[in-house]
Structure 1
Amino acid sequence: MSIRELTLMGNPVLLEVAQPITDLDDPELQILIDDMVATMEEAAGIGIAAPQVGQSRRLIVALPIQDRNEEREPPMILLNPVLEPLDDEMVDGLEGCLSIPGLRGIVPRHRRVRYRALDRTGEPIEGIAEDLFARILQHEVDHLDGILFTMRMTDLRLLAMQSEAHYLARSEADSEAPEDDEEEAGPSA
């Protein structure tokens, strides 16, 4: 496993629609998967998409977690993922991105989604993701469609440097639950 260089905002590969993975027997695919896991872990991320390491391929790695501090299961590998919102419920949440270091913003996302994909061996997988895990999947699949989290924001006043993101988290908490004053910088995917 190697740590790959992260592709940063401004690189055209982040704005392209990634190509479907068709050759599941390609040994380079397994190397890419292992490298993406290592790169995500090295960067302390909770998700990563192939375009974030310069590869225009429909592949994501995501931690199936509901809380950034919970005990982590092994990351999920999703090839050619497809997401389907389960309802119209949208939730604002604080996001960051390994390809946009230092920035955080409030982004509306579906609270619940169904995901369908292939695992690293080519076997079909599907499930339902909620809350943080649903947010991670939507963020990463957006990368496969050439969309950065800043493009999903509805109010650019809710974009901040990471060091100042506690103001955004406080604002978000105030609007959803006045008694909650927890300050959070938000996860990076």
Structure 2
Amino acid sequence: MRGVIFNFNGTLFNDFDKYEKTWRMFSKKELNHDMSNDELETCRQLCRSYRLNFRLTSGAVWLFNDLKDRNIPRTITTISPRSTVNFYFENFHLDKWFEIEKIIYDDSIILRKPNSNFYLRAAQAINMPPEDCIIFESTLSGIISAYNAGIGKVIAIAPRNHQLIFEQMKEVYDVIANFHEFDRMLLRE
């Protein structure tokens, strides 16, 4: 494999409990209030202050450094808008390993998962044919999207108590709980 694609939400960063759409929906439904950008920024500040859980998945930085040292093309995909991508880059210092111009995010142009366009654009961003890429993904729709895009190896990342469903999928090459478990020998294939 010659290229690596990371899905961000739920894979590199477990933000299911922090995601801004959830905040906005909760605010609208429970408080009958549309959340302003200032209020959303307050929520982001809360994330920053809650450093215990505001970190990348275990082993991610180790793998990022390894990929950079080997000069392996890599990118990130996310369903987040550009403003949230900027927030992630600033707070996780992702510019050490990734070029923000190559990130595939919700730009209102791409078709979302499970449409394979999402990952085809990611492979194109790093100038790799999809079959030469590894993708790390945490959702069923993302796994199907990557598989349908012809991604060479789909690695599911999930807590141990949620791995069985992924282990039974033909689309999944391997299942890991964190990036320390990733078999780096796959990078030599």
Greater fraction of residues in strand: 1
Greater fraction of residues in helix: 2
TM-score, length basis structure 2: 0.29
TM-score, length basis structure 1: 0.29
